[in-house]
Structure 1
Amino acid sequence: MRAAWLAILLVAGCAKEPANTYQGYVEGEFVYMASSQPGQLVKLAVARGQTVSANALLFELESANEADAVRQAQQQLQAAQAQRADLATGRRPQEVNVTQAQLQQARAEAERLGLQRQRDEAQYRAGGIARAQLDDTRTAASAAQARVRELEAQVQVARLPGREQQMRAQQAQVDAARAALGQAQWKLAQKQVHALDAGLVYDTLYRSGEWVPAGSPVVRMLPPANVKVRFFVPETAVGALAPGRKLQVRCDGCAAAVPATISFVSNQSEYTPPVIYSNATRSKLVFMVEARPAPEDAPKLRPGQPVEAVLQ
């Protein structure tokens, strides 16, 4: 395309132009709006030629599977958090009450067997019972005391939270579930694409009902800041140009000149026609220069439109 424009500019250059006026054309840096996820296009919210504001909805893809994935991830996170809370609080109060009741019974039995041991020891000293019966009584009393200590320990353990290793493992499960939820929510959000900046909807590439592959653009936009003017200056004039210099852009049909600012000056020269370089053809060397109008003036220009750049 540049070669064709250079040929046009060469022909136009044959006409007498003021020393500070150069032929050029308008170019747009288009933004191709796409989703990272595939899906059927269920809503195209804009039309070609429409001007939209920043964050305006451009299009929406079918998202039933992604919405289900978000709900599943939310439930898994809730389950993991509930398990973490359960580990932190120990056993349920009802379970602790059962163990405490068993402890009371064990204490009562231990007290009864302790009294029985005292009576049997007195009887043994008086010669009323055999040594074997006393040993049985002592063994039963000792077992009852051990049972009391066991149940007391169980009550204490029941009131303790989960072990540190268990808590860390469950916290990891919570973190993993939260990350999965974030990923599912991100995928769901990708099914709706909004404009990053205000601009012109230059073209729409799909229709409602069509399948859109992942990464395939649906809307082509042209923000005002992406409109620029390209023109070419000879070697003798490029040294005086630098980014920031002001100029006026004139075009057929423009009610008034459009102010612009130089944003780029090429460091590489090129030829207007395809010729072999020599000192005789040196005058045909040109350098590309780009200038950008203010965003509020950009809609006055159209990509591909021939213009004149008048340096100030």
Structure 2
Amino acid sequence: MRRIRSKGGLGALLLALALAACADKGPPRYQGYAESELIFVGPDESGRVTRLDVDEGDRVQKGQMLFQIDPVLQQSEVDSAVANLDEAKAQLADLKASAQRPEEIAVLEASQRRAQAALELSRIELGRQQDLYAKKVGSKAALDSAQASFDQNQAALDEISKQMDVGRLASRDERVTAAEKAVLVAQANLDAATTRLERRKLTAPSDGSVETVYFRPGELVPVGRPVLSLLPPELIKMRFFVPEPDLNRFKLGTKVQVSCDGCGEGVAATVSYIAEEAEYTPPVIYSLDERAKLVFMLEARPEDPLKLRPGQPITVEIAQ
């Protein structure tokens, strides 16, 4: 240990001890720093940046356009999905147009009875003309006319019967149901393709400031990599360190006052987290006096986070 031989050195030491004692009588102060959680904004799929609307340091609002990734492939998928949906709707419309409803079946049944009556009348007329022609009383033309009328009525009855058989097919309803499901699938594929296309244009998820831009127009963004990072004000917090003997001064919800360079009159904050385990030194050492102390880390949420910047040293004391 170095000896102090001069009276001046001894006086300086006594003065320093007196000032330290006076400082100890004031409210306890604790050292820390501002911290933040960033939001990383990037595309769901890889692609090349074609447009960048912001730069580092810009303040943005929720929903504001940030950047765009090349949408050519996604646009092609949307066009293909639109065509598939149109085709599915056309097939469904065709099936519904050809399917016979119960009312239409009733109309066909009435037509069938009318055709049967006409056929029976033409059969009687044909028989009469045949008898007359056999007795050489009727003409060949009348017989041919009666035969043609009978054949025509027979064909009309056969046609109506076939239409009724087709309208009553059970598979018709199943095909319509399948076509309706195909339309739903095509619509879902279109919705998915449209969503993928829309996600090529990225907007701000919240208010904040642009901290770092990692990729610029023309650069290829790999899968899972962000194009930029945002700092929302609500994600700014303060971490400070309290010696173990002073820990009982704090609890969740305790109001504190924070001072820092450029903070003006300071920033009011509320304790939001108290660490369960102690540590021997804080991550950043601000003075030699902080070494080898058993401290606990606390976090507080500021009422005005815009006064703080991440990494900025702070001093915390309990609000009076």
Q: TM-score range by the shorter chain?
A: 0.7 to 0.9
User: Is the CA contact (8 Å cut-off) linking 2:85 and 2:183 kept in structure 1?
Assistant: yes
User: Is the CA contact (8 Å cut-off) linking 1:113 and 1:144 kept in structure 2?
Assistant: no
2:141 corresponds in structure 1 to: none
**Aligned counterpart in structure 2 of residue 305 of structure 1, from 290, 295, 312:** 312
1:42 corresponds in structure 2 to: 50
Q: 3-state DSSP class of the match of 1:169?
A: helix
1:195 aligns with 2:213: no
Report the residue type matching 1:308 in the other structure. T
Report the residue type matching 2:125 in the other structure. L
Report the residue type matching 2:302 in the other structure. P
CA distance in 2, matches of 1:150, 1:216: 71
Judging changes above 3 Å, is the alpha-carbon distance between structure 1 residues 20 and 142 closer, same or farther for their aligned structure 2 residues? Answer: farther
CA distance in 2, matches of 1:192, 1:66: 12
State the shift of 1:260 in Å: 1.1
Report the residue type matching 2:28 in the other structure. N
Report the residue type matching 1:241 in the other structure. F
CA distance in 1, matches of 2:127, 2:75: 72
Q: State the Cα RMSD in Å.
A: 3.6
With structure 1 as the length reference, what TM-score do the two structures score?
Answer: 0.75
- Percent of aligned positions with the same letter in both sequences? 33
Report the residue type matching 1:214 in the other structure. V
CA distance in 1, matches of 2:95, 2:115: 28
User: Is the CA contact (8 Å cut-off) linking 2:274 and 2:297 kept in structure 1?
Assistant: yes
Aligned pairs for 1:63-82 within 5 A? 63-82=71-90
Which is further off, 142-151 or 219-228?
142-151
Q: 3-state DSSP class of the match of 1:244?
A: coil
**Aligned counterpart in structure 2 of residue 87 of structure 1, from 65, 90, 95:** 95
Larger Rg: 2
Q: 3-state DSSP class of the match of 2:179?
A: helix
1:267 aligns with 2:294: no
CA distance in 1, matches of 2:173, 2:296: 71
CA distance in 1, matches of 2:152, 2:117: 8
1:60 corresponds in structure 2 to: 68
CA distance in 2, matches of 1:300, 1:265: 23
1:218 aligns with 2:234: no
User: Is the CA contact (8 Å cut-off) linking 1:110 and 1:141 kept in structure 2?
Assistant: no
CA distance in 2, matches of 1:182, 1:41: 24
Report the residue type matching 1:239 in the other structure. N
State the shift of 1:237 in Å: 2.2
User: Is the CA contact (8 Å cut-off) linking 2:118 and 2:153 kept in structure 1?
Assistant: no
CA distance in 1, matches of 2:177, 2:204: 43
State the shift of 1:190 in Å: 1.2
Q: 3-state DSSP class of the match of 1:291?
A: strand
Q: 3-state DSSP class of the match of 1:256?
A: coil
Which is further off, 79-88 or 49-58?
79-88
With structure 2 as the length reference, what TM-score do the two structures score?
Answer: 0.73
User: Is the CA contact (8 Å cut-off) linking 2:122 and 2:153 kept in structure 1?
Assistant: no
Q: 3-state DSSP class of the match of 1:88?
A: helix
Per-residue displacement from partner, 1:4-45 (whole Å, max 9, x unpaired)? xxxxxxxxxxx7564431000011101111110111100111
**Aligned counterpart in structure 1 of residue 127 of structure 2, from 111, 117, 121:** 117
